[in-house]
């Protein structure tokens, strides 16, 4: 992934998140327990991680065969949809945020100052909130409810996300 592509992916993520928050979309309130969102995100994150496992250098797998490791992980991940569905969409969102941060940071490695915005947003938003929400989905619920409770907080948070997304989109095109 190039730095421009990583900025475009980061911009898309931030613009969608900002729009959902700014407009007080009903999706934010139903997302946490949505079986459809859980399925889409679990399949996406599992495929993303499976692809990553299949493309790791040989020494990183400690001599284990690639295909059984990737298949075993994918099977276990899909089993969480059946056996642990509670707030699974939030957990999967947190994991996808950390995966996105990894690719953005890899693309920007050693490319300062061009990658400064990507690095600060990746660490400041994606990694911190991704870890927080993946480890404690009720934190997402509380933060979401708190942000959406008042119009000023909702508009301020949405505008900040939209502005960050616009800056990333500008950086992707520059």
Across the range 74-101, mean pLDDT stands at 91
pLDDT more than 90, % of the chain: 56
Q: What's the whole-model pTM score?
A: 0.88
User: Distance between CA 72 and CA 103 in Å, rounded?
Assistant: 24
- DSSP 8-state symbol, 32: G
Across the range 96-117, mean pLDDT stands at 87
**Of the candidates 165, 138, 174, 136, which has an alpha carbon nearest to the alpha carbon of residue 20?**
165
Mean pLDDT value across the chain: 90
- Provide the greatest CA pair distance for the chain: 55
User: Distance between CA 151 and CA 92 in Å, rounded?
Assistant: 28
Token code pair at residue 61: 């797998």
User: Distance between CA 112 and CA 147 in Å, rounded?
Assistant: 33
Predicted local distance difference test score (pLDDT) of residue 59: 66
């Amino acid at each position: 992934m190039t730095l421009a592509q990583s900025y475009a992916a980061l911009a898309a993520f931030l613009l969608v998140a900002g729009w959902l928050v700014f407009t007080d979309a009903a999706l934010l309130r139903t997302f946490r327990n949505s079986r459809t969102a859980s399925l889409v995100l679990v399949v996406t994150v599992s495929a993303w991680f499976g692809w990553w496992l299949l493309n790791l250098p040989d020494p990183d797998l400690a001599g284990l065969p690639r295909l059984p490791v990737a298949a075993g992980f994918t099977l276990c991940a899909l089993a969480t949809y059946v056996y642990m569905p509670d707030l699974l969409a939030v957990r999967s969102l947190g994991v996808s945020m950390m995966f996105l941060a990894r690719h953005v940071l890899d693309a920007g490695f050693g490319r300062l100052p061009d990658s400064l915005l990507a690095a600060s947003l990746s660490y400041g938003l994606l990694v911190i909130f991704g870890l927080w929400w993946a480890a404690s989905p009720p934190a997402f619920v509380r933060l979401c409810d708190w942000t959406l409770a008042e119009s000023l907080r909702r508009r301020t948070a949405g505008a900040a996300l939209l502005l960050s997304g616009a800056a990333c989109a500008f950086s992707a095109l520059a």
